[in-house]
Every structure is written in C-alpha cells, then in structure tokens.
Amino acid sequence: MKKLIVISISILYMTSALFAQNEKSDFSEILPKKGEYSMGLDMANMIQFVGNSFSANGMFSYPNYSMVKPALSAVTIHPTVFGKYFLLDNLAIRTRLGIGVHNSTERAFIYDDVKNIGNPLNDNPLTYEQTVDESGLRTTEIELGIGAELRKTLWRVQAYAGAEVFGSFTYKREYSVYGNAFSATNQTPTTYDFVADAPFNPSVRILDIRGGNIFHYGGGLYTGVDLFVAKNISIGAEFDLFIYGIYTTEEIGFGETWKMDKVYTVERKITPYATGFDIRPVGFLNMNIYF
C-alpha cells in the first residue's frame, strides 16, 4: 500500500509538472543545448522492475511481469548505454556501448583411478576415493557504435533521425581440467561428461576449444522521439535498422590421448571460418538524462 501511495504521488507530481503553464511557450529552457551531454538506458528494465514489485501475496516477482521486456537495442548485446554530446542545439553525436561477460565453471567429483588401486572399498560410491573434473566457459562481448543525429523540436517533444557505424566482437573459449591423468597403465581414465552428466572412459579427451570468435561490422539508421517530462529528463521511443556483415573465425580444438609411451597432445581444426550478412530492425523505449 505504501508503494502505491508513493508512486501515485510521483505520477501526480510529474503530470502537474508536465502540463504546468510556462512563461516560454516553446519550452526551450528544458531542452538540451549546445555543449551539453546526455546518458540513456533502455526503459523496459525499469518498467519490468516496477511491475514485479507489486504482489498479491507479498512475494517479490509475483506476478512475473513480462509484457514489456528489455529490447535488443543493439546487434549482439542488450541493454546498451547511450551517450550524446550536442554540437549544436539540434545536432548531436552519439555513442552506444555494450559489454557482456559470462564466465562459468562446473565441477564434478569423479572416481580417482590412482588412489583406489588396492582399495578394498573401491566398488562403493560411499567409500571410494574421489577427484575433481572441471569444465569452464569464458565469453566476452563488446559492441560500440558511433553516429550523429539531427533533432527537430515541437513543444516538449524532439524528433530525431541519424546514422551510425558500429562494430562488435564476441570472444569464446571452452576448457577442461581432469583429475585422472593418462598413463601407460591408465589409457582410458575415468572422466566426467558434463553434457551427458555421467562418467565415461574415453581414449581421447578435449583440453581446450578456442576460436569461433564473431565479428559484426556495419552501419545503421535510426529515428525516434523524446518527450521531455521535466528539465534534463526525457522518455522516448526509437526504431533502428542495422545493416551488417558477420565474420566467424576458425574454431580449433586441443585434445590429449595416450600414444606409444607418452601423452600425445593434438591440435585439430573443428570448424572453418564463416561469413554472413544481415539486416535487423529493432525498437525500444528509452530514458535519457541531460547535464
């Protein structure tokens, strides 16, 4: 109930500020000027948060408000942060930056082939010795766009249109670390399969997978509208049309096996490079703060 009262008062305040009489009929004092900056975000995140804050039973995220979701305001990453600098009152340069990092590591206990030699209880999961297998994934995404836009003012509203060039890079690496090593007496060591979620005894194991990195490069056209609800604050909507090429690098795997009298490490090409072309329209809501 307290949340509802606070939000109701906030809405009334914003509404009164929006429609209050002003000495300057063109509202030029609340609009961005030459030399000012702005920062913007996808507004769908805030809408979703407010929607999830209300509850019929006191539980956060109930109901799960998913009618408005964060938009794909970029080619590879969302949400993206926008920054603008106004060269003139009606001309701005814009940059957008998105960074995504995903690192995950899975570990599993596995039968220890060496320590259980001679162990009279090595046939029982509750009593045999264990070691650990590890599987990791490292992913990093970076996208940067730079462009310029022209703006046209009507009352509290500014319409704009512009163009940009952009590039993005996606890096990926998978690796595995094993508790049981290859040896002359153990040429099929017990290994955990994280995909099948079960142990097995392979004669060849993957150590590392590198490459398969993705480059996006191209340009975009965009148009949108900002409504200035107060000085230095605007909400709006934007439509983008991205046109870009795609280049994916070779993917190379590194594996190990027992050959002759030693551990043999091999490098093997898994997938060749690939290219592509795409046209992608996207739309999203935004909020900007000017300073």
Token pair in block for residue 70: 């964060």
Q: Is 85:37 a contact under the CB 8 Å cutoff?
A: yes
Token pair in block for residue 34: 């030459």
Cα separation, 201 vs 189, in Å, equals: 6
Q: Is 83:37 a contact under the CB 8 Å cutoff?
A: yes
What pLDDT does 5 receive?
44
Q: Return the DSSP state at 29.
A: G
CA–chain centroid gap for 195, Å, is: 23
24 half-sphere exposure, CB direction, 13 A CA radius: 9
What pLDDT does 8 receive?
45
**Phi, psi (degrees; rounded to nearest 5) at 153:** -105, 140
What pLDDT does 88 receive?
96
Low-confidence ranges of the chain (pLDDT < 70): 1-26, 44-73, 77-79
Q: Return the DSSP state at 83.
A: E
What pLDDT does 71 receive?
54
What pLDDT does 177 receive?
97
Which residues in 155-261 belong to E strands, given as ranges? 157-177, 191-193, 198-200, 204-211, 214-230, 233-248, 251-259
Rounded to two decimals, the pTM is 0.76
What pLDDT does 80 receive?
75
**Phi, psi (degrees; rounded to nearest 5) at 77:** -130, 140
What pLDDT does 283 receive?
86
What pLDDT does 224 receive?
96
Break the chain into its structural domains and give their ranges: 33-290
